[in-house]
């Protein structure tokens, strides 16, 4: 089988959804990690906005690392590489945000991502999921690719009326408001937060560690 | 609730006001911090002037860090990321200056920002608040977003006559001349200055530590 | 003899296949290594997509280094240089991916590459081989250059019907789905994975070391 | 009072004079310093020539640091930021040279600058003051802003005949040939040179320390 | 005497041959070395392809350094500068490859280059000499400059029929297939390979040191 | 006196000669040095070719530093800044080469440059002086500026016939073939080479120290 998506759950590989003038498309995102110096690289002919999405996704993960069980050392002594295959095809836009966060958390925690889940949504530095465009086209592409579950921004629920009923019924479409909900669904299991004694002693004052991994009420 | 602004006070998240040819708009600014090497990143399709505003806001905070209770180490061992969501929308101009200072002081001191306050104003390296454009449009946008208090530059007081009376009466509009007034209103509480014995011994001669956090008379 | 390809198996030198508007072409890729600081350089008038292919190939090799018997030190204390000769000719595209991985593994393990094998295929960060364009033209160029074995993406098998029968019968054409199959054929012998006690003690948690060098079932 | 210039003497804040097609203008320059690594940043939509002026001003100050009582450590362990407010207005040209030197010496020595002095003049790496353009327009702008004393290049004395007599009589206009004259007038007091035993022992051979702070005869 | 070429053998100075629309030209290449940090600089208004030629030449020399008697320290503690005089004239193309290798080996080994030898040829990372253009024009320029010996790529032997007989007979024209042949002719004497005990102990596994300085059979 | 040239001999300040479409011009070059990390900066709206001239001049001086009495430490622990005043005027071309070398040697040795000497000439990495353009215009400009001695490239002697006799007789015009002749005339006195025991012990093998400061025979 050589389709657009992986046949099994893999670490770092997540299925995003893109939207172009000719319709929706599956957008594979893959991240790997190797011993290094805390640098991140990205490839795949990415436009400025998508490059910024990677930077924002990484800063979100770094700022909440402890709640994902990732230590400061995991960042400082490893390099990350985010690649979007089909390297000759230009890709841009902010809607891969939640998929990028998912890929990074997966590769840093070594927890595989469910291969039958696709997702679309911009993400803020606080993990809030923002509205995206092209919902109908993206859902059609997910259906064609055999996806079973699609995560969409809660702010796009209003757009579901434009999506054909058979598409809406063929997949589980889950509106999400915070990226913590995304991780709860897409990862095989949730990472365990670092315990106090695992925390890096020299880090000093701890900023923002209250409840980052449970869905926030909005 | 999934509106433009947060429903509760958050660390690093502040509501700015933008002005485009089609009217005023809410401009969310969010900053996070993570263990690092003293670097700052920014994302959100920011133009050159807004990028410089971030640099100037950071230098203002760094040059007065002690008066905000922030030590040299807080800068040297943490990275900062400033993001303006809706990553596909270009943003530019100097008028987010005081909002950027507020966001940075908040994230560095861990003091939340009142979510019902919005603000607009260029800031100088000395903390002076300079006049901005589009005051009427910005106040209208703040009203639509349910903002209760708006901080504007004292040099824009003259422009309030052009703002409809119902708008002026629906919100508390506070003219400010120095960013220290902004922090006094927007932060949940003021940070405490570093005491002498908290100061970093190896820093040498201390420059400019007289009264930075109390409003200056102009 | 001064043809397009080498007369003997060499370390780091691999034969790729390019496709331009005037037909297929042999594309030599050569890598060398020298004592250094873990940097990689590339030359040969390479376009953006091909430059990204090198970055992705390197990250693939680094993320699976142990399975190739390459230690963290091999990367940190050596510099790599990837060059595509005929330096005045612009080269671009993602289809040199598997050839780049092969060249890098060869130079890092010191195992020569069979000089009568050519190959074409994009590669993902997980080693999956993706479809390429210009299959017919590339096979014709391989034939003209005296190549005996050509590796093509499994996803391009469907395109073989367009290739003249005499071309298909003159060479061994092997469809591959994962770059591990490529290495098994193109290298004189497979590298031996690092044993546990050869692993760098200070590296911490090991990510993804299950079976990277054996072909995956798809 | 919220005019163009400060109401009191401040450290690092100096009043320059700009000249555009629509007339002269006050050009505020402000510098701050913070604990750092010897880096300098500049903001304010500055053109290439003005950016170079900052670099040259800094090198002038660094090369004569001892005569200003500034030690090598003052540079190595502090960062500087030069900002020209009204961040959306492009600014360029070499004529802010002497104002930039004054701002830098002030912030590095913590000596305030007289707020009723304005100045214009290109500066060389040796401190010589070179001729500028738009003298008449600049003097008119200084007058409007309530400036009492204006420093101009000695090479521009010839242009004073074109300036209306009432303007020339309303302010003290002082032609200067060397930046040491500028500092003598604009700073609240002159800095004291480092004594021999304050000099950094490991610095080795001392270059150019003869009389840098007294006006040169030309 | 102030002609185009040096009057005596010098370290680092080699005579290349350029080809423009108005004919062939002598192209002097000079390299110097100074105590430093292993960096290389190049000047002379060089185009992208020629800049890449320098990078490739350097990587060739570094990857075979031991066979030239050059230690890892020779690279790490010295800086190199490659300059092509007549700094206002743009220069480009890959055909200076073997001249660049010769200049670098000369400056790193301190062995002078014969001043009456000129050369043209692209070089690969393995030292293979590739075909160049403009052979006739280049040979005419060499003749005009009083050159006695010209090294050309073996792949250009076929083009010698287009060169006037008197030109071919006035100079010794030597076709070369590998850069090791070039060094054997152009250097006053060949460098001696490092002996085992001169090798840097901490370097680890040695890659590719078999016979690099003797001509390869092709 | 506020003319184009200095009234007394100064360290680092040298008079070059420029040539534009509207005639010749005096081109002041000034360098300063300060405690630092071995970096060089340049300002004065310099074009690419002139920027490269500075790099080449610096490499010439560094590669022969010992013969000028300059130690490796003098470079590693000081920063240099080369500035060409009148910062708004674009400047380009290679003909300031020998003036740049003179300015750098002066500032690094602290030996003043004779203020009544002007010079023009491209310089190679070996110190050879190459032909320049606009000789007549440059000599006229030197005459107007009260220069007593002008150094020109030996290769430009042929162009002196085009220069009016009164100009040629009003100044001492000295053709030079090597930059060592330039330094012998322009510096107040020649620097003394480092003695063996002043040489930095850890520097290893010494490259090229034979007779660099005495004129070469050509
Ligand atoms: Ca696709
Ligand atoms: Ca919508
Ligand atoms: Ca909005
Ligand atoms: Ca206004
Ligand atoms: Ca070819
Ligand atoms: Ca196809
Ligand atoms: Ca103004
Ligand atoms: Ca004038
Ligand atoms: Ca020439
Ligand atoms: Ca040919
Ligand atoms: Ca002039
Ligand atoms: Ca001429």
Condensed to tens digits (0 to 9), the pLDDT of residues A119-171 reads 999 999 999 999 999 999 999 999 999 999 999 999 999 999 999 999 999 99
What pLDDT is recorded for position F7?
Answer: 81
Q: What is the ipTM of this complex?
A: 0.89
In Å, the largest CA–CA distance within chain F is 56
Residue E205 pLDDT > 50, yes or no? no
Domains of chain B by range and CATH?
Answer: 13-188 (3.30.230.10)
What pLDDT is recorded for position F3?
Answer: 59
DSSP C34-57: EESSS-EEEESSB-HHHHHHHHHH
What pLDDT is recorded for position F194?
Answer: 92
Interface test with chain A among C50, C125, C159, C179, by most A beta carbons within 10 Å: C125
Which positions 13-52 of A are in contact with C (Cβ < 8 Å)? 13, 28, 30-36, 41, 43-45
Rounded to a whole number, what is the distance in Å from the CA of B36 to chain A's nearest CA?
A: 8
Q: Indicate the pLDDT class of residue C24, thresholds 50, 70 and 90.
A: very high
| Chain B touched by D85 (CB under 8 Å) | yes
| Chain F touched by E87 (CB under 8 Å) | yes
Q: Please list every residue in chain B whose beta carbon sits closer than 8 Å to the beta carbon of residue A177.
A: 2
* Sign of the CA dihedral running A91, A92, A94, A95: negative
The reply to whether residue F81 touches residue D72, judged by beta carbons under 8 angstroms, is: no
Q: Indicate the pLDDT class of residue D199, thresholds 50, 70 and 90.
A: low
pLDDT tens-digit readout, C57-76: 999 999 999 999 999 999 99
Scanning every residue of chain C, which has its alpha carbon at the shortest distance from the alpha carbon of E96? Answer: C87
Provide mean pLDDT across the span C101-108.
98
What pLDDT is recorded for position F196?
Answer: 67
Ligand 5 centre to CA of C85 (Å) is 9
Ligand 10 centre to CA of C95 (Å) is 28
What pLDDT is recorded for position F203?
Answer: 46
DSSP E6-70: -SS-BSSEEEEEEEETTEEEEEEEEEEEEESSS-EEEESSB-HHHHHHHHHHHHHHHHTGGGGT-
What pLDDT is recorded for position D197?
Answer: 63
What pLDDT is recorded for position D20?
Answer: 86
What pLDDT is recorded for position B93?
Answer: 97
pLDDT tens-digit readout, A20-65: 888 999 999 999 999 999 999 999 999 999 999 999 999 999 999 9
Q: Tokens 């901080």 appear where?
A: B151
E strand residue ranges, A54-201: 78-83, 117-119, 122-123, 129-130, 149-153, 172-176
Ligand 6 centre to CA of C134 (Å) is 8
Q: Which subunits count as partners of chain B given 3+ CB pairs below 8 Å? A: A, D
Residue E161 pLDDT > 70, yes or no? yes
Indicate contact of C with F: 3+ CB pairs under 8 A: no
Give the closest of A2, A35, A83 to C155, CB-based: A2
Rounded to a whole number, what is the distance in Å from the CA of A124 to chain B's nearest CA?
A: 6
What pLDDT is recorded for position A201?
Answer: 46
What pLDDT is recorded for position E199?
Answer: 54
pLDDT tens-digit readout, A101-124: 999 999 999 999 999 999 999 999
Residue C53 pLDDT > 60, yes or no? yes
Q: Is F49 exposed, middle or buried (0-12, 13-18, 19+ CB in 10 A)?
A: buried
pLDDT tens-digit readout, C78-101: 999 999 999 999 999 999 999 999
Contact A188, A9 (CB under 8 A): yes
Whether B67 sits among the annotated catalytic residues: the reply is: no
Contact A21, A13 (CB under 8 A): no
Q: How many CB atoms lie within 10 A of CB E40?
A: 18
Whether A106 sits among the annotated catalytic residues: the reply is: no
What pLDDT is recorded for position F208?
Answer: 40
**Catalytic-role residue among F91, F138, F154, F180:** F138
Q: Indicate the pLDDT class of residue C112, thresholds 50, 70 and 90.
A: very high
What pLDDT is recorded for position D196?
Answer: 67
Which positions 110-139 of B are in contact with A (Cβ < 8 Å)? 110
The reply to whether residue E35 touches residue F203, judged by beta carbons under 8 angstroms, is: yes
The reply to whether residue B52 touches residue D31, judged by beta carbons under 8 angstroms, is: no
Mean pLDDT of chain E: 90
Closest ligand by atom to B91 CA = 3
Angle CA D32–B11–B7, to nearest 5: 135
Ligand 1 centre to CA of A53 (Å) is 20
Q: Indicate the pLDDT class of residue E3, thresholds 50, 70 and 90.
A: low
What pLDDT is recorded for position D213?
Answer: 38
pLDDT tens-digit readout, D77-124: 999 999 999 999 999 999 999 999 999 999 999 999 999 999 999 999
Indicate contact of B with E: 3+ CB pairs under 8 A: no
Residues of chain B with confidence (pLDDT) below 50: 1-2, 201-218
Residue E215 pLDDT > 70, yes or no? no
pLDDT tens-digit readout, E103-153: 999 999 999 999 999 999 999 999 999 999 999 999 999 999 999 999 999
Contact F114, F187 (CB under 8 A): yes
pLDDT tens-digit readout, E74-102: 999 999 999 999 999 999 999 999 999 99
| Chain F touched by D74 (CB under 8 Å) | no
Helix or strand run (H / E) with residue A34? strand A23-35
Ligand 11 centre to CA of F18 (Å) is 10
Exposure on the CB side of residue A57, measured as CA atoms within 13 A: 30
Residue A218 pLDDT > 50, yes or no? no
What pLDDT is recorded for position E210?
Answer: 41
Give the closest of F33, F87, F107 to D49, CB-based: F87
Higher pLDDT, D145 or E208: D145
The reply to whether residue B63 touches residue D2, judged by beta carbons under 8 angstroms, is: no
Ligand 6 centre to CA of C131 (Å) is 7
Q: Please list every residue in chain F whose beta carbon sits closer than 8 Å to the beta carbon of residue D207.
A: 11, 33, 107, 110
Q: Indicate the pLDDT class of residue E218, thresholds 50, 70 and 90.
A: very low
> Tens digit of pLDDT per residue, chain F (218 long)?
445 677 899 999 999 999 988 899 999 999 999 999 999 999 999 999 999 999 999 999 999 999 999 999 999 999 999 999 999 999 999 999 999 999 999 999 999 999 999 999 999 999 999 999 999 999 999 999 999 999 999 999 999 999 999 999 999 999 999 999 999 999 999 999 998 665 554 444 434 434 333 333 33
pLDDT tens-digit readout, C150-165: 999 999 999 999 999 9
């Amino acid at each position: 089988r050589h389709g657009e998506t992986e046949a099994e759950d893999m670490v770092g590989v997540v299925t995003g959804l893109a939207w172009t003038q000719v319709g929706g498309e599956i957008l594979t995102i893959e991240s790997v990690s190797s011993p290094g110096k805390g640098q991140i690289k990205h490839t795949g002919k990415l436009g400025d906005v998508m490059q910024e999405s990677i930077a924002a996704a990484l800063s979100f993960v770094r700022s909440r690392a402890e709640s994902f069980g990732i230590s400061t050392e995991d960042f400082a002594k490893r390099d990350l590489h985010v690649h979007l295959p089909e390297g000759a095809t230009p890709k841009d836009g902010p809607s891969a945000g939640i998929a990028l966060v998912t890929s990074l958390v997966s590769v840093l925690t070594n927890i595989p991502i469910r291969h039958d889940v696709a997702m679309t949504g911009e993400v803020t530095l606080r993990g809030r999921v923002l509205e995206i465009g092209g919902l109908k086209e993206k859902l059609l592409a997910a259906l064609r690719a055999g996806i079973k579950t699609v995560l969409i921004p809660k702010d796009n629920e209003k757009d579901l009326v434009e999506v054909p009923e058979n598409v809406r019924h063929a997949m589980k479409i889950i509106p999400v408001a915070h990226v913590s909900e995304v991780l709860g669904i897409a990862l095989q299991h949730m990472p365990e937060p670092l315990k106090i004694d695992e925390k890096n002693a020299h880090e000093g004052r701890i900023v923002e560690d209250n409840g980052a991994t449970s869905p926030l009420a909005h």
